[in-house]
Structure 1
Amino acid sequence: MTNEAVGAGKRAREVRDIVAVFVLSVTAVLTAWCGFEASKWGGEMSIAFSEASSSRIQAGNYEGESRDARQFDLTIYSEWIKADLSGDTQLADYIQTRFLPDFAVAFDAWDADGRQENSPLARPEYVPDGTVEADEWNTRADAKFAEALVNNQRGDDYSLLTVLFALVLFLTAMSQRATASWANWTLLGLALAAALVGIGVGITFPIKI
C-alpha cells in the first residue's frame, strides 16, 4: 500500500471520527431535550387531570343543588295540586306564593299555555338552581380531560423520539467499532439518517418551557 493510500485512509478515518463525534454530541443534547419536554408535558397532563377532577366535583355540587331544588318544587307542587283539586283556592294561592322563582316562571308559562304538559316541571322554562352551573362545570371538566389526554400523547411522542435518538447513539457507537471501512460509513450513514428523521419529526412537536 502506498503512502498516498495510507494518507487517504487516515484522512477518511479522521473525517469519520469528526462526524461521529458531532453526531454523538448533537444527539446527546437532543435526547436530553426530549426527556425534558416529555417531563414538562407529563406535568401539564397531571395538572389538566387535576383540574378536570376538580371541575367534576364542582359540577356534582351544583347537580346536588339542582336535585334539591327540583325535589322542593315537586313537593310544593304536589301540595298545590291537592288544594286545587279540593277547590281550596285560598290555600292554592298561598302555596303558589311559596313557589321558587325558577318554578314560578315555568308554572306561569304552563298555566298560560292551558296546562298542556303533565306539570310545570316538564316545561322548557323550568331550570332549577344549579342546572346551568352544573352543565358549565361538566363542560369544563370534559375539556380539561381531553386536554390531559392530548398532553399525555405529547409526552409519549417525545419519549418515543428519545428512543429514536438512542438508536442514533447506538449506530454511531457501532460505526466506531466496525473493522471494515464500508461498514463504518454504512452505520454512520444510518445514524445520520435516523438523526435527521428524528429532528424532522421533533420540529413538528409543540414545545413547553
Structure 2
Amino acid sequence: MADEPVRNNDATEIANAVVIAITGVIAAIGSYQGSLWEGQQATAYSRSNSLRTESNRAADHADTMKAAEAAVFSAWLNARATGDTRLADFYARRFPPDLQHAFNDWINQEPLTNPAAPLTPFLTPSYRPAGPALAAELDRKAAEVFEEGQRANHVSDAFAQGGTILSLSLFFAGIAQVFRRRRVRVTLLFMAILACALGAIRVFTLPMITIMNQGG
C-alpha cells in the first residue's frame, strides 16, 4: 500500500516541534557549560604558568643563596686557616639561616680534629635549605594545576561532542518537515529522537559548573 501523505497539523509535526525545542534547550545548556569549562581551562593553564615561573624564580634564588653560603663559608675557612679568629667569628655570625644551624652542628662535631665529622656543614643532615624545597613544591603544584586544565579541556571537548550529536537531531527534525510522506517523516523523526537522546546522555553525564562553583 502506498505511503499516505501527511495532513496539516499531523502528529509528526507536533512531535518534530517538541524534539526541536527539547534539543535546542539541551544544546544551549551544553554550549554554556562548554564555554565555562573553556574558561576553567584557560584559568588553570595561566595559574600553572605562574606557578612554574615562581618555581623557577625560587630555584634561581636557591642557587644564588647556595653560592653565597659557599663563598662565606670559604671566607670563614681562610680566616680560620690564617689564625684570624676575629675575622672568622665575624663571618660565622653572618652565615645565612639555612647554613647557621648546620654550621653549629658541624662545629659541635669538632671537624678539625674528628675524622668522622662531615667535611663541610653542607654535608650534615641538618643542612636543609628551604629554597630547593620551595621550588619543588611550587613545581608540584604547577603540575597539579596543569592537570586540572587538561581535565577541563577534555570536559569542554566532550560538551562540544554532545553539541555535535544534538545538531544532528536538529537536522533530522528540521528536514523531516520538508517531506510530505508519513513514512519518511516518521523515520527522520525517529532518527532525530535517537540523536537527541544520545546527545542528552552525553551532556547530562558530564560534570557541570554551577554559578556557586564558579564564584568559589
TM-score bracket relative to the smaller structure? 0.7 to 0.9
* Alpha-carbon shift at residue 192 of structure 1 (Å): 0.8
CA distance in 1, matches of 2:180, 2:13: 14
Per-residue deviation, 1:196: 1.0
The 1:196–1:97 alpha-carbon spacing in structure 2 relative to 1, beyond 3 Å, is same
* CA distance in structure 1 between the partners assigned to 2:185 and 2:14 by the alignment: 13
Preserved CA contact (<8 Å) 2:4 2:181: no
Q: Does 1:145 align with 2:146?
A: yes
Kindly provide the CA deviation profile for residues 20-69 of structure 1, in whole angstroms up to 9, marking residues without a partner as x: 11001111121122111111111111112222222222223322322221
**Match in the other structure for 1:16:** 12
| 1:70 maps to which of 66, 73, 77 | 66
| TM-score, normalised via structure 2 length | 0.80
**Separation of aligned partners in 1, 2:12 and 2:92:** 92
Root mean square deviation, CA, Å = 2.8
1:39 aligns with 2:40: no
Runs (4+) of structure 1 moved beyond 6 Å? none
1:97 to 93, 112, 120: 93
SS in 1 for 2:171: helix
Q: Quote the Cα distance in structure 2 between the aligned partners of 1:26 and 1:118.
A: 77
Aligned counterparts of 1:181 and 1:203: Cα–Cα separation in 2: 32
Return the letter of the residue paired with 1:196: A
Is the Cα–Cα contact under 8 Å of residues 4 and 182 in structure 2 kept in the other structure? no
Q: Which whole-Å CA distance do the structure 1 matches of 2:194 and 2:45 have between them?
A: 38
Task: Tell me the equivalent position of 1:106.
Answer: 102
Which range moves more in the overlay, 171-180 or 20-29? 171-180
Distance, in Å, in 1 between the alignment partners of 2:178 and 2:124 is 80
What is the match of residue 46 of structure 2?
A: 50
Change (3 A) 1:114 1:162: farther
Distance 1:114 1:174, change over 3 A: farther
- Opposite residue 63 of structure 2, the aligned amino acid is R
User: For structure 1, which runs of at least 5 residues remain unmatched after alignment?
Assistant: none
TM-score for the superposition, normalised by structure 1:
0.82
Question: Is this contact kept in 2: 1:34–1:158, CA < 8 A?
Answer: yes
1:60 aligns with 2:56: yes
Q: 5+ residue gaps in structure 2?
A: 112-116, 212-216
What is the percent sequence identity of the aligned residues?
26
Cα separation, partners in 2 of 1:177 and 1:87, compared to 1, 3 Å: same
**Aligned mates of 2:186, 2:119 — CA distance in 1:** 84
